[in-house]
């Protein structure tokens, strides 16, 4: 189970709520036949937001979950981390 600092949870939640609104807006733009380039810019903004949340979560994961598991001798966390890094780099 993860244990994130309250400020990190708040930051990620605020960002995710903003992204959720962006996604709803993108859907409306498509349904309203908004110019493609404008929709693409909104998609890029949503992707950028998700990228930032991913980076915040990954950093927290490395500094807490991974470190704690290594201290407990659970070296299999390295294999798990490598799988995650490969997926993130696609």
Residue ranges of the chain whose pLDDT lies below 50 = none
pTM over 0.85, yes/no: yes
* pLDDT on residue 4: 87
* pLDDT on residue 90: 87
Smallest CA-to-CA distance from 39 within 23, 19, 18 is with: 23
* pLDDT on residue 1: 79
Is there a contact between 31 and 62 (Cβ–Cβ < 8 Å)?
no
Distance, in Å, from the CA atom of 72 to the CA atom of 64, rounded to the nearest integer, reads 12
* pLDDT on residue 2: 82
* pLDDT on residue 10: 97
């Amino acid at each position: 189970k993860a244990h994130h600092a309250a400020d990190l949870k708040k930051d990620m939640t605020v960002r995710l709520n903003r992204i959720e609104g962006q996604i709803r807006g993108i859907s409306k733009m498509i349904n309203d036949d908004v110019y493609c380039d404008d929709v693409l810019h909104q998609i890029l903004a949503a992707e950028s937001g998700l990228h930032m949340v991913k980076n915040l979560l990954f950093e927290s994961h490395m500094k807490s979950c991974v470190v704690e598991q290594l201290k407990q001798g659970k070296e299999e966390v390295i294999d798990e981390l490598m799988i995650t890094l490969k997926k993130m780099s696609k």
